Amino acid sequence: MQNTVNRVELGTIVCRHCQAVIGTQDTEKVAFYYAACEKEDCRKKEQAAEGR
């Protein structure tokens, strides 16, 4: 009997500006999370979106 923990990372974190995959996250179902990646261009867009 194997005692392996099946941790499947179903959550994908995607940059909302350039669609780059930033990372993954353990979630119970398939989901996409949108954030801003570290590109300067995307950070500027993110700040512009927040600063309204």
The C-alpha atoms of residue 21 and residue 39 are separated, in whole angstroms, by 12
Longest CA pairwise span in the chain (Å):
56
Is residue 16 a contact point for Zn ion (CB under 5 A)? Answer: no
Residue 42 as a binder of Zn ion (CB under 5 A): the answer is yes
Is residue 37 at the binding interface for Zn ion, with CB under 5 A as the rule? yes
**Dist. CA 26–CA 19, nearest whole Å:** 19
15 binds Zn ion (CB under 5 A): yes
Q: 19 in helix, strand or coil?
A: coil
Span near Zn ion by CB under 5 A; candidates 9-17, 23-31, 43-51: 9-17
Residues in touch with Zn ion (CB under 5 A): 15, 17-18, 20, 37, 39, 42
